[in-house]
Amino acid sequence: MSRVWKIGVAGLGTVGGGLLQFLAERPGFAPAGGQAVVTAVSARSRTRPRPVDISGLAWFDDPVALAVSPDIDIFVELIGGSDGPAKAAVEAALKAGKPVVTANKALIAEHGAALAVLAEAADVPLLFEAAVMGGTPAVKMLREAMVGDDVAGVAGILNGTCNFILSEMEQRGASFADVLAEAQRMGYAEADPTMDIGGFDAAHKVTIMAALAFGCAPNFAAAEIEGIDQVDLLDIRLARDLGYRIRLIASADRTPDGVAVRVHPSLVAQGHPLAETRGALNALFIEGTRIGRIFIQGPGAGAGPTAAAAADIADVMTGARRPVFQAPAVGLKPFVAVAPTRRVGKAYLRMLVKDQAGVIAAVSETLAECGVSIDSFMQKPVEDAGGVPIVLTTHAIAESVLTDAINRIEKLPAVLERPRLLRIARI
């Protein structure tokens, strides 16, 4: 007789409700056989309407009590948040020897190393496919498919909300505020969108990717984060005129100085797969030293996390075991961040200046004095811009040099505001 695996689910939002419905319809979905049956749940509201009747399931007001219940075999955490009940419940489940499946990217990015120690000490899986790129198997790609290669870097679009906003601003010529409001009406953005538009959601995800790619402990504190809330429609238009689109790019690269983990709005050349990734889609490049470049793309929300959580449950049922972050957790060291001043790359600079003689000469002279080499230059009057935009792109330059140049240009009498810096993605 095939084994019945009893599942406890904490958090019954979109993903949790979808998982309950999926397992109710297909309890025998796992290729290895057996039945996965939800027997107990925990959530903030017991009476909220859900796609599946939960009246016959054991109810726990406290997710920690559910996590340690002797009547479940697998604990699924879909509460969210890096601390509080989610962290307490996952810790309790691991200490009790329960396999854990989670979609909580903040929890793994900020506490993954300590949780990995607990999981490996108890010899139980800690799986989080649903934490990155929804149902697109980015975690499995790094955790399993790439173990025979050395990963040099990963880069991509890891937040569908930001990608939707930037895509709509470009296509419709609408302001950031207007498109954000639309995204909130459509359910793409939360009432408080800070985690998304501030770049923190993407940073959590790329921190996890860095740990898997380079066999180190996650180190969210080392990520360099800039969101899209300061991206102006003017820059989207001017970048397009230069042959680029602006995307929020999350990247992790191995360098001689350490690991550079960054989230920045960046210029991507038109025609590049990331520039053509529109709407709420996610997309990721993985660079292997042997296999070369792999590109994956898919929805970052919707039913994807449900499918990913189900895939993790299937892995538990098959008895799969591997280190959480590619190497034994005990002694796993966090990656060492590369100082931003040591970074070298191409850049986009946009200045808003007074319409008067000698401005271009003053800007060019300042850049030359700082050692900044100009790749392209454009001066284009724009209606309602409040001044004359001057746009240039640079050859590869250390960011410390570029910052010095920006500080000097800002002080020029004809310059109306601090120059806007955007990186040009190296992808």
Q: Which of 6, 87, 105, 205 is catalytic?
A: 205
105: annotated active-site residue: no
Assign 316 to helix, strand or coil: helix
Contact 284, 156 (CB under 8 A): yes
d(CA 260, CA 279): 27
Report how far residue 162's alpha carbon sits from residue 292's, in angstroms, rounded to the nearest whole number. Answer: 28
User: How many whole angstroms separate alpha carbon 268 and alpha carbon 343?
Assistant: 18
> Distances from the Cα of 407 to the Cαs of 363, 400, 415, in angstroms?
12, 11, 11
Interatomic CA distance for residues 137 and 132, integer angstroms: 8
Beta bridge partner(s), residue 285: 155, 295
Which residue(s) pair with 217 in the sheet?
334
Distance CA 128, CA 152 (A): 22
Bridge partner residues of 287 (DSSP)? 153, 293
**CA torsion, ordered 338, 340, 344, 348, to nearest 10 deg:** 150
In this structure, the number of other CB atoms found within 10 A of the CB of residue 342 comes to 13
C-alpha dist (Å) from residue 302 to 141, 163, 218, 262: 21, 15, 26, 26
C-beta separation of 220 from 109 below 8 A: yes
Q: Which residues are catalytic?
A: 205
